[in-house]
Every structure is written in C-alpha cells, then in structure tokens.
Amino acid sequence: MWILNFLTSSLGKKLIMSLTGLFLIIFLLVHLIGNLQLLFGDNGEAFNVYAKFMTTNPLIKTTSYGLYFFILLHIVQGIVIWLTNKSAKQSRYAVAPKNTSWASSNMATLGIIITVFLAIHLWQFWFKMKIGAIPPVNIGGEEYTNLYAVVHEAYQNIFFVIFYVVSMVVIGLHLSHGFQSAFQSLGLNHKKYTPLIKGMGIAYSILIPLGFAIIPVWMYMMH
Amino acid sequence: MINLDPKVPEGNLGDKWTNYRGTMNLVAPNNKRRIDIIVVGTGLAGASAAATLGELGYNVKAFTFHDSPRRAHSIAAQGGINAAKNYQNDGDSIYRLFYDTIKGGDYRSREANVHRLAEVSVNIIDQAVAQGVPFAREYGGLLANRSFGGVQVSRTFYAKGQTGQQLLLGAYSALSRQISLGNVTMYNRHEMIDLVKVDGKARGIIARNSLNGELTKHSAHCVVLATGGYGNVFYLSTNAMGCNVTAAWRAVHKGALMANPCYTQIHPTCIPQFGSYQSKLTLMSESLRNDGRVWVPNKVEDAEAIRKGTKTALDIPEEDRDYYLERRYPAFGNLVPRDVASRAAKVACDEGKGVVGTGLAVFLDFESAIHRYGKSEAHSKGIHNPGKEAIRKLGEEVVAAKYGNLFDMYLKITGENPYKMPMKIYPAVHYTMGGLWVDYNLETNVPGLFALGECNFSDHGSNRLGASALMQGLADGYFVIPYTIGQFLSKEIRTPKIQDDTAEFDTAVKESQARIDRIMNIKGNQSVESFHRRLGAIVWEYCGMSRSEAGLKKGRQMIRDLRKEFYADVFVPGTSAEFNPELEKALRVADFLELGEVLMLDALDRNESCGGHFREEYASPEGEAARNDKDYTYVAAWEWDENEPKVHKENLVFENVELKTRSYK
Amino acid sequence: MKLTLKVWRQKSKDHKGSFENHQVEADDHMSFLEMMDVLNERLISNKAEPVAFSHDCREGICGTCNMVINGKPHGPSKGTTVCQLHMREFKDGDVIVIEPWRAAAFPVIKDLVVDRSSFDRIIQAGGYISVNTGQAQDANAIPIEKDTAAQAMDAATCIGCGACVAACPNASAMLFTSAKVNHLALLPQGQVESSRRVRAMVKQMDEEGFGACSNTGACEVECPKEISITNIAAMNRMYMGAVIGAQDQV
C-alpha cells in the first residue's frame, strides 16, 4: 500500500512528526489562553466555567480525541525515530562535536521528560476530573467541577511549582527546535521567509512556556 | 620491427570519420547480448565508455581501484572543456579546433584522430547538457564560454572551476543507470594487475580485490583500458595520489607498446613545493592567466631578499619587475601555451630570480587586474573620482566573483592572501600526452585491447592545450569506442563466452601472485614512499622541463640502480591477503620504476625539442624549442625489455596542415 | 610543533577498535594528510602497521578523504576537506583525536577507512537522467535561467564524501540524497523523471540503514562544499508531492 510505504518511510515519519507537532503547537496556545483565566482573581469562577465548556462541548470533545491521538502518535513515532536513528549511528565520537544546537540533537530526551511531565500533569488534573474525584462548586446557581480548587491547592506546594517551571523550560527547548523543524520537514524553506519562521519559533518557544510558568508562580505567590 | 598500422580510413580529412562510421562492421543486438567487454578505469573515458557500451546492449564489466567510480581523477579538472560549437560567433569551427590542437601539439599527433576529436566535440556538450551537467550560462539562459591558453577563440565550456567534476558526475550517473539496469557489473576496489591474452588476443584481466587481497579472474571478448596517465612517475605532480601506470604497464608487459612516453605536460601555474614531506602539487587553473601577470624581480639581489624574507613582492617597484612572458611573447603574452610558459618560468628561476626559499617560484600578480576591474566597476556604478581604496575593493570583488574558489584554495594551502600579495607559482607535472599506442580504432597492437583517454597517446601530440583533456576522454568514451569496438567484435560473434578456468588465466594468476610474493618477501628497510620519492626526483631532474643527452643517460642508470635497490630493500608491512594500501603502492611503484627508464630512453631517442619535450641541445638561438621534422615526425612506441627496451615507429603523415615553427611572439 | 595524536585503530569491520596514541612533529606548511604521512613513514620504519586512511586527489574534490578530527568531520576549518586542512590551524602541544566516519551504513574497513558504497547504490536507484548517448538535442535548445543553473550547480558540487552522514547525530543521508535530487530536478532535462527519481532514491536511502533527518543542521555546518539544507526541504516537498500525486501504487 502506497500510503503505508509513505508513512513508514523516513520522510513520511518526519511528516507525521511535523504535522502532529504543529497541531500540538497550536494546542499549546489555546491551552494557555484558557489557563490564563486562573489569574483572574475571581476565585476560579471563569476558569471553572471554561473547564466545563471544554469538557462538555461536543465539538471540543471530538477535537480532544484527536488531540489524545496526536499526542500519542507524536510520542510513539518520536520513540520509533529515536530508536532507528540510534541504530543508524551505532557509536558516538570520542570528542563531542559542536555543530548543532543542544536542543536539536536532544529532542528525544526532551520529549521523554515532557512525556513524564504530561503523565503527572494529566493524572493530577485531567484524570481526577474524569473519574469525578473533584468536588463540585456552585457558580451562579449551576453546579461546576471545582477544578480551580485542585489547581490552587497544587500550586501551594513549592515543589510542584518548581516542577512545573522546570518542565516549561524543557517544553521551551523542545519548541525552540521543533517549531522551525516542523516547517523544514514540510519542505517550507525559503531564503526570504525561513529566517522569519525561525524568529517566530524562538519567540513562541519563549513566550508560551513563560505564559504557562507564570501561572503556578503567580498562584504560589498570591496565596 | 612491429608494423604499426594506424588504420586511418581513406578519403578527405573531413569525411574520414563520417564515411568510416557509415561503412564499418556492426554487431547485431542479439549478438551484443552475448559479448562481454571489460572496461578498466571509470574516469571520464572509462565511465562514458562503460555506460555507452552498456546502453548498446553489451555485457560490460567495469573496474576501478577506487571505492567508487566517482573518485576518478578526471574529477579534479578545473578549467573547462573545448568544443567547436561556435556559439560565440567568433570564427570557431571544427577545422579551427583541429588546427589549434595539431599546432598546440607541435605537429606530433595523428591528423585523422585529431580531426575526429574536433568533430565529436560538439556532441559531447549536447550529451553533457542532456545528462544535467550544470554548465555556466548567460542571463539569456544559453551556455557561456571562456577562452583558454594557446587559442584565439572562446570555445571553452565550464562549470565554475569544477568542470571535470561535473562532467565526471554526468558520466558516473550514466554508468550508475546502466549498473542499475544490469548492463554493467561494477567492480569497485578492484585493481587490474595483469592482462590475460588467449591466442594473441586480449581476453581478460586479473584484478586484486583490495579489501581482502584476493586475485580474481575476469574474462571477456575484449578489454578496454581507460586508466589515465602516468604523471605520478614524477612523484610530485598534480595527479591524485592513486594515479598509476600499472594497468597500462601490465599491458606493455603483454606486448602492447608505450608511445611517446617522454611527452609530459608541465603545467605552469601550480602552487610551489614547500617542504620535503610534500606529497603532491596543486594546480591553479590556467584560466588565472587570463587576468594574472607573471613576473620575477629584475635584479637577483631583490630575488634573494624576497627569498630571505627581508623584502616582499610589494617592495619591488614596477621598473624592477620583469614581466617576462609579456616581454618575450608580445602576441600571446601571459596566455602562451603551457609548455612555453613553463619553460620561461624555469629560465627565470635558473637565472636566480626565483621567489621562494627553494628558488623555484615566480609571481602571478592580479594587482593590475584588480585595478582595471575596480575602475570599470566604479564607472559602471556611477562612482565619480573613486579613491584608491574604493577601486581596490570593487576590483577585488570582481576578481573574487571570477576566481574566488581558486583564491580560497590558494589561501588554504599557503596561508597567504592572494588578493594582497601576488601568488607564487611554479610549473608542475600535470598530464601525460604519451600513452599506449593505438590505431584509429583506439585499438593497441594487441588485438582486442583498446586504450582510451589519457591512457592512450593519440590526440595531443607533444603538448596538450588547456580544456582538451576532458574533451578527449569523453570523445573516446561516448563517441568513438562504441563504434570502433565493433570492428573487432564483429569478428567475434561466433566466439563463445570466454572461460576463465583455462591455463592462460591460471598462469596469469600464478605470475601475479609471484610478483606480489616477491615484493612482500623482500622485507627490507626502506618504505615504498621513499623509493617513489627518489624515483620522482630523478625523473624530474633529468627528464623534466629540460633534458640533455648526458643527463638522460645518467638518469637512466640511476633508475636502473634504484630499481635494483627497490627489489633488495623495500619494506611492505602486513600481508598480501588483506586490505593493504602499502602493497598496492608497492606494485604501482614497481611499474613506475620500469616506466621511468623508458621515459629517459624515449627522451634520449628524440633528438629534437617539441612541445613538452625540450632538449637543451636542440634550441633556437632565442632559447625556443627547435623541432626536427625531417627525422622525428614519428611516434616512438616502446616495447619493454628488462635490459634494453626497443623502439618501434609509426611515421606521422601530414596531408592537410603544413608543419610550421610554432610562434607565439 | 609537537602534537599528540589519538588515532582510531580497528583491524576490520568485525574487530573492536580502540585509540592509539602517537607523538608527531609537524610544521605549518604541512597538510593534515602529510602529517599523517609523516606518522606512517615513522611507523613503517619501525616495522609497525601504518594507519590506513582514505585519500586520493588531495585537492578537495574527489571526496575520498574522511576523518573526524576532534569530533568534527574534516576538522576545524569551514568548507574544507581534510586533505586541504593545514597544520597552521593547530598549535604546539595540541591533542588531536582522529576517528573514522561513524554510521551503520558506513562500516569500517580498516582504521579510518570506511565503506561508502551505500552512496553509490542511492545514485544507482535514480540519481541520473535517463538519456542514452547520442540522443541529445543541441545543447542550447533549452535555455535555463542563469540563477536556476547556478542553484543546480551549487547542489551538484557535492563530492560524496559522507561528511553529512558523519556529522549527523542520526547518520542521515538526507543532505547527500537531496543534493542530487535537487540538482537534477532544477534542470528542465531532469525535471521529467523527478517524481520517479525522488521516490526511488529515498527508498534506497532508507534501505541502506541511514537514519531519519531531525533537522539539526549539523550536515550543513560540516559539509566541505557548504551545501545547504534548503535542498533537504526541497526534497521533502518533492517527495510528498511525488508520492501523493503519483498514479502508481508504489
């Protein structure tokens, strides 16, 4: 089958990494915009309303299944590429060459750390919500899951705050290569526009993780 | 005396090839499938021949000692390839290319071969473009040309300074295609170490697999050698380290003749030697002479000061410089042919005016070009009254655009910036016009053994013009041998597959193994490299840019002594049954040690000066080469004999051009 | 200058390799390979095995030489092959670590010599224009824009040395393959079969056991001919277009 041959070729695998990566990049932005509501200082009302919307709206729900799938695909494919690449290289040089950015040659390591982060992150908030382990809260006469309370409680723990901030640095590094790399894999490289894409990539990889990192720090300091 | 019949077809010069092609014997497609051809060497000539023969339907087996066919030394040709396209409308024609080549070769090549070369030159460019060779182009999208030394038209096609590379990659791609189609079987890392004859015909080779040292037998209906030149007999040359004469020399041992071995081209613009450890010399393209001016200091004191480092070129005022090429050859100036330019450099250095420590270098100066280009660039950019610095900067930019990669290479090798300081250059061995004797069909005197490209002797006489080597290699491979090989093979269609389990092949393997064992078992004290270095020094000293009877006789004896010493005291580490580069080198040097002697003998036999062969005894009062057309209008073809090599002669007949004294004054 | 060399020695593909230390005296004018020659001459005079290394033209064009010097393929100078690297780039007392290209698709033959025949097979898969000798039309029949021809030339300058693979943390051959794909696709003569070519060459590249490109850009940094990774992007584009657009099922 041509499509299987294509997707399992080295270029096809990259294409998958690139497309799923770009999807996750967009997801990060949406996720951040939603989460910034944690900082409204309204005891989490806006955030809880938003959380309910995100978990009940059929369109969002459908998209979220796509998201789970893409995250998994990105991880699995990443590991497959990492393993084949390791076996293609076989052995390393005695003197480490300095011809790449650190992030670009350590994408797999960064990716694994992010996966671990993701597991903890999901377990802490998403999973608890899914199994209904979070107490409800009444906002304007309607009942909402008080996700805000869980988040608020978590960010009173300095270790969690540090863990989140460090994880964001890791995501930033992953993005710093991944953003522009996704475009290169799609064949979008142009003398005039590639510098622009690279610039955007750097900006994105700083601003988005910074935005996420501010939340726990802010909530920790405000308590 | 062997009768050397050139088999030149009858008819007018311009019609010979066309008529011959139209009437020669063909091999039918169904028979081609049953015929095997061995092609040794995968440079321009070999790769193009193997590819084309494969396309025609023959079973081709191609051999290279390199790890890939793409490594052949054709790849290093910089300047370009000639073709009589007359795209520039400057009066070029097939006849003019023919005439320039005959004249440039100092009337020592075969008319009919050279004319055929000029004829097919135009097809080569077509073929190369169709293969995707990215030649330089004009803004209108059509092909660009430049001029080269020794001619007055622009007929040289080029791809930056990497024309040889691009043409070789073109031939390599055609070869790769035939390999993938199964028409050519490629044997990488296989070095031919013997030719096998069956009933007097070339029927196969013995090749050593360099990965494991195994001697392998390969049979075919005929054998084509395209194994390049023997410039490395001089040790220091612009050739690649691996270039060698072994395949051709093994053929000589089996009865082929080595023609005009003393015709060696010394290229005038190479980076001079710096130390005793030096392994090779690097060419700076001849195209540099389009803009560079060659000079030495007028006063020996100045030259001495430069050699000691107390002065530099910039300290020598204009009036104390001798632009000797412009002075001696006003008509062609810095663009005289290679042999003339090289000899003039030697004369200047012999007078004590050399400009590096060894005393062996002259300046190639771009100052006036930088100035000239800078001014015209300022003018075209509308800068009025530009300052000196501004002119320099603009001029350097123009020069960088034209020769940037060559200047960078010079800087890398010497550590000196050629934009600020004149380059230092000196002649170096570059190309060998001599080679295996072949007739019009490119067949040697051994039936079924063909020689193409630099490996044969046929087209360049005693001096090759710039940008003609690529032309000849590809002409032979793409457009000549595919036809002429039919003259031999059409008589072989009833010959069944040649078997390699016969006595002839077994004997050849045994002899090769004995030769290897002999060298391995010497276990002496000197390295192969040291012998090669000493051989090169002898050949360069006595058979280099100028030669004399006494010197040649002395040189010959020295080589014979060195050969004896080699077989008594060489040390080759390791074993013969493994990957062993030292052994490969030893086998090649052993052959060079024989060829060197023949070089001396050939130069001694030729009591005249012509092209690259300059005998001190035969010079005009102004020191120019003096030919002797009455007695030496012949090809000297040498038969090897350990004690006394013998010469055979083919008289050159000139029916179309008048033999004149070459003058570039 | 006095140098300490740590040279990789390996008897064959099936043996384990290790570093061997040597002291060498060099001077500024020497090329790196001439310095290796000096070492080998000394080893031979001591009846020891010289270090096997690949080399031929020694003017930076044949692509034979290959050494990783202090972690960098072809050594520290930009846009330079080992054979053009000169000792003036080093200083007295330097320790120089010399290793072969390391990649599964380039097995070691001996010491620093590796087998790069995988590159030949990639070219054989489709790195050509299918034209027989004699079929060509006049060379000026199809004009090609000067800049396009120049771009094709830039891609075509690849010398097939394998430094891109050696430099790549994934041992990917994307720069090599894409340079050839792009060189031919840019020219009208090569455009005709570019869809078939790119699919065939990528397939062969994968079969040879090279890694996948992760866009680290190391290849571009170490390429002695400074071939750009824009070629890789162009090949990605071409490959997608070719696979998705092709009529056949392969």
Chain C residues in contact with A177 (beta carbon < 8 A): 215-216
Question: Encoding tokens for residue B137?
Answer: 């182009």
Residue in this structure with the two tokens 């051009």, named with its chain if needed: B657
Query: What is the chain B residue with the closest CA to C187?
Result: B132
Question: Encoding tokens for residue C220?
Answer: 């571009």
Percent of chain B with pLDDT over 90: 91
Strand bridging mode B36-40 / B59-63: parallel
pLDDT in tens, A123-137: 988 888 888 888 899
Residue in this structure with the two tokens 């000539």, named with its chain if needed: B45
The C-alpha R_g of chain B, in whole angstroms, comes to 25
Q: Does the predicted interface ipTM exceed a cut of 0.90? A: yes
Neighbours of C55 (CB within 10 A): 26
CB contact under 8 A, C143 and B165: no
Q: Does B176 touch chain C (CB under 8 A)?
A: yes
Chains touching B (at least 3 CB pairs under 8 A) are C
Query: Which residue, among B44, B277, B572, would best test binding to C if mutated, counting the most C CBs under 10 Å from its CB?
Result: B277
CB contact under 8 A, A187 and C99: no
Angle at the Cα of B482 (from C187 to B243), degrees rounded to 5? 80
Chain C residues in contact with B85 (beta carbon < 8 A): 139
Superfamily of domain C2-109: Beta-grasp domain (3.10.20.30)
Give residue B520's identity as a one-letter amino acid code. M
Chain C residues in contact with B173 (beta carbon < 8 A): 123, 127-129
How far is the C-alpha of B52 from the C-alpha of B46, rounded, in Å?
10
Expressed in angstroms, the distance from the first to the final Cα of chain B is 41
pLDDT in tens, B632-643: 999 999 999 999
- The whole-angstrom distance between A100's CA and the closest CA on chain C is 5
Tell me the residue length of chain C: 250
Q: Does B244 touch chain C (CB under 8 A)?
A: no
**Could you state, in chain order, the average pLDDT of each consecutive group of 10 residues for chain A (223 residues)?**
90 96 97 94 91 92 94 96 94 90 95 96 88 88 91 93 97 97 95 94 97 95 81
Tell me the residue length of chain B: 665
Boundaries of domain holding A184: 10-86+104-221
- The burial class, CB within 10 Å (0-12 / 13-18 / 19+), for B352 is middle
3-state helix, strand, coil in chain C (%, to 5): 40, 15, 45
Yes or no: say if B463 and B338 are a contact pair by the CB < 8 Å rule.
yes
Task: Give the DSSP letter of residue B137.
Answer: B
pLDDT in tens, C97-124: 999 999 999 999 999 999 999 999 999 9
Q: How far is CA B197 from the centre of its chain?
A: 28
Neighbours of C79 (CB within 10 A): 15
- Whether A123 maps to a domain, the answer reads yes
Phi/psi at A123 (5° precision): -60, -40
Strand bridging mode B36-40 / B222-225: parallel
Q: Does C233 touch chain B (CB under 8 A)?
A: no
Give residue C138's identity as a one-letter amino acid code. D
Yes or no: say if B610 and B652 are a contact pair by the CB < 8 Å rule.
no
Domain boundaries, chain C: 2-109, 116-245
CA B577 to each of CA B186, B574, B583, C225, C226: distance values in angstroms, whole numbers, following the listed order: 22, 9, 10, 37, 39
How far is the C-alpha of C150 from the C-alpha of A206, rounded, in Å?
38
Question: Encoding tokens for residue A164?
Answer: 């989140």
Chain A residues in contact with C229 (beta carbon < 8 A): 184, 189
- The whole-angstrom distance between C11's CA and the closest CA on chain B is 9
- Whether A96 maps to a domain, the answer reads no
Angle at the Cα of B650 (from B645 to B651), degrees rounded to 5? 135
- Whether A5 maps to a domain, the answer reads no
Strand bridging mode B190-198 / B201-209: antiparallel
pLDDT in tens, B371-411: 999 999 999 999 888 899 999 999 999 999 888 888 999 99
pLDDT in tens, B528-557: 999 999 999 999 999 999 999 999 999 999
- C191 CB contacts (<8 Å, ≥6 apart)? C185
Yes or no: say if C67 and C82 are a contact pair by the CB < 8 Å rule.
yes
pLDDT over 80 at C10, yes or no: yes
Predicted confidence band at C250 (pLDDT cuts at 50, 70, 90)?
low
- The burial class, CB within 10 Å (0-12 / 13-18 / 19+), for B419 is middle
Q: How many CA atoms lie within 13 A of C76 on its CB side?
A: 11
> Domains in chain A: how many in total?
1
C 108-127 residues inside an 8 A Cβ radius of B: 109-110, 113, 115-117, 119-120, 123-127
How far is the C-alpha of B613 from the C-alpha of B606, rounded, in Å?
9
Chain A residues in contact with C215 (beta carbon < 8 A): 104, 177, 180-181, 184-185
pLDDT over 90 at B43, yes or no: yes
**Which domains are delineated in chain B?**
269-429 (3.90.700.10), 503-630 (1.20.58.100)
Question: Encoding tokens for residue B553?
Answer: 């006789």
Expressed in angstroms, the distance from the first to the final Cα of chain C is 59
CB contact under 8 A, C71 and A94: yes
Please report the DSSP string for B480-533 in residue order: IHHHHHHHHHTT-TTS-PPPSSSHHHHHHHHHHHHHHHHHHTT--SEEHHHHHH
User: Do C and B touch (≥3 CB pairs < 8 Å)?
Assistant: yes
Q: Write out the catalytic residue numbers of B.
A: 338
Percent of chain A with pLDDT over 90: 81
How far is the C-alpha of C166 from the C-alpha of B36, rounded, in Å?
39
- The whole-angstrom distance between C72's CA and the closest CA on chain B is 18
How far is the C-alpha of C95 from the C-alpha of C3, rounded, in Å?
6
Predicted confidence band at B151 (pLDDT cuts at 50, 70, 90)?
confident
Yes or no: say if B418 and B424 are a contact pair by the CB < 8 Å rule.
no
Percent of chain B with pLDDT over 70: 100
Q: Does B496 touch chain C (CB under 8 A)?
A: no
What is residue B665's predicted lDDT score, i.e. its pLDDT?
81
Residue A84: which of C212, C239, C246 has the nearest Cβ? C212
Query: What is the chain B residue with the closest CA to C119?
Result: B68
User: Do A and C touch (≥3 CB pairs < 8 Å)?
Assistant: yes
Question: Encoding tokens for residue A105?
Answer: 């040659």
- The whole-angstrom distance between C146's CA and the closest CA on chain A is 18
Residue C124: which of B132, B179, B238 has the nearest Cβ? B179
Strand bridging mode B423-432 / B362-365: antiparallel
Q: Does C1 touch chain B (CB under 8 A)?
A: no
Closest CA to C185 of B169, B134, B160: B134
- Whether A98 maps to a domain, the answer reads no
Chain C residues in contact with A11 (beta carbon < 8 A): 202, 212-213, 235-236, 239-240
H/E element, B194: strand B190-198
pLDDT in tens, C24-73: 999 988 999 999 999 999 999 999 999 999 999 999 999 999 999 999 99
CB contact under 8 A, B126 and C139: yes
What is residue B622's predicted lDDT score, i.e. its pLDDT?
86
pLDDT in tens, B603-615: 999 999 999 999 9
Phi/psi at A146 (5° precision): -90, 70
Yes or no: say if B165 and B471 are a contact pair by the CB < 8 Å rule.
no
A 99-118 residues inside an 8 A Cβ radius of C: 99-101, 104-105, 107
3-state class (DSSP) for residue B208: strand
CB contact under 8 A, B70 and C183: no
How far is the C-alpha of B590 from the C-alpha of B528, rounded, in Å?
9
Residue B126: which of C61, C126, C137 has the nearest Cβ? C137
Residue in this structure with the two tokens 């194994």, named with its chain if needed: B227
CB contact under 8 A, C234 and A187: yes
Query: What is the chain B residue with the closest CA to C80?
Result: B412
Yes or no: say if B357 and B305 are a contact pair by the CB < 8 Å rule.
no
Average the pLDDT over B578-595 and give the result.
98
- Whether A93 maps to a domain, the answer reads no
Chains touching A (at least 3 CB pairs under 8 A) are C
- B289 CB contacts (<8 Å, ≥6 apart)? B149, B268, B269, B334, B335, B341, B364
Q: Does C104 touch chain B (CB under 8 A)?
A: no
- The whole-angstrom distance between B546's CA and the closest CA on chain C is 27
pLDDT over 80 at B53, yes or no: yes
Average pLDDT, chain B: 96
How far is the C-alpha of B473 from the C-alpha of B387, rounded, in Å?
49
How far is the C-alpha of B434 from the C-alpha of C224, rounded, in Å?
35
Q: What is the pTM of this model?
A: 0.96
CB contact under 8 A, B165 and C159: yes
Residue in this structure with the two tokens 């002291």, named with its chain if needed: C23
User: Do B and A touch (≥3 CB pairs < 8 Å)?
Assistant: no
Q: Does B409 touch chain C (CB under 8 A)?
A: yes
Q: Where are the alpha helices (DSSP H) in A133-157?
A: 147-154
B 33-72 residues inside an 8 A Cβ radius of C: 48, 51-52, 55, 66-72
CB contact under 8 A, B179 and C119: no
CATH class given for the domain over C116-245: mainly alpha
C 146-165 residues inside an 8 A Cβ radius of B: 146, 149-150, 152-153, 156-157, 159-160
pLDDT in tens, C13-26: 999 999 999 999 99
How far is the C-alpha of B414 from the C-alpha of B398, rounded, in Å?
22
Residue A64's CATH number? 1.20.1300.10
How far is the C-alpha of A178 from the C-alpha of A200, rounded, in Å?
12
Residue C44: which of B165, B186, B573 has the nearest Cβ? B573
CA B441 to each of CA B20, B200, B251, C4: distance values in angstroms, whole numbers, following the listed order: 10, 18, 17, 56
Q: Does B285 touch chain C (CB under 8 A)?
A: no
- The whole-angstrom distance between B645's CA and the closest CA on chain C is 32
What is residue A133's predicted lDDT score, i.e. its pLDDT?
85
Interface A:C, Cβ pairs < 8 A: 150
Query: Which residue, among C98, C215, C223, would best test binding to A if mutated, counting the most A CBs under 10 Å from its CB?
Result: C215
Percent of chain C with pLDDT over 70: 100
Yes or no: say if B437 and C108 are a contact pair by the CB < 8 Å rule.
no
Q: Does C192 touch chain B (CB under 8 A)?
A: no
Give residue A27's identity as a one-letter amino acid code. F
Predicted confidence band at B663 (pLDDT cuts at 50, 70, 90)?
confident
- C187 CB contacts (<8 Å, ≥6 apart)? B132, B134, C144, C148, C149, C152
pLDDT in tens, C224-245: 999 999 999 999 999 999 999 8
Question: Encoding tokens for residue B656?
Answer: 């179309």
- The whole-angstrom distance between C240's CA and the closest CA on chain B is 23
Task: Give the DSSP letter of residue B625.
Answer: B
3-state class (DSSP) for residue B562: helix
Residue in this structure with the two tokens 């300059």, named with its chain if needed: B614
pLDDT in tens, A40-90: 988 899 999 999 999 889 999 999 999 999 999 999 999 999 999 999 998
3-state class (DSSP) for residue B146: strand
Number of alpha helices (DSSP H) and beta strands (DSSP E) in chain B? 19, 21
What is residue A131's predicted lDDT score, i.e. its pLDDT?
86
Residue B140: which of C34, C62, C143 has the nearest Cβ? C143
- The burial class, CB within 10 Å (0-12 / 13-18 / 19+), for B521 is exposed
Strand bridging mode B321-322 / B449-451: unpaired
The torsion angle over the Cα atoms of residues A33, A36, A42 and A45, rounded to 10 degrees, is 50
Q: Does C100 touch chain B (CB under 8 A)?
A: no
Strand bridging mode B258-259 / B634-639: antiparallel
How far is the C-alpha of B603 from the C-alpha of B624, rounded, in Å?
17
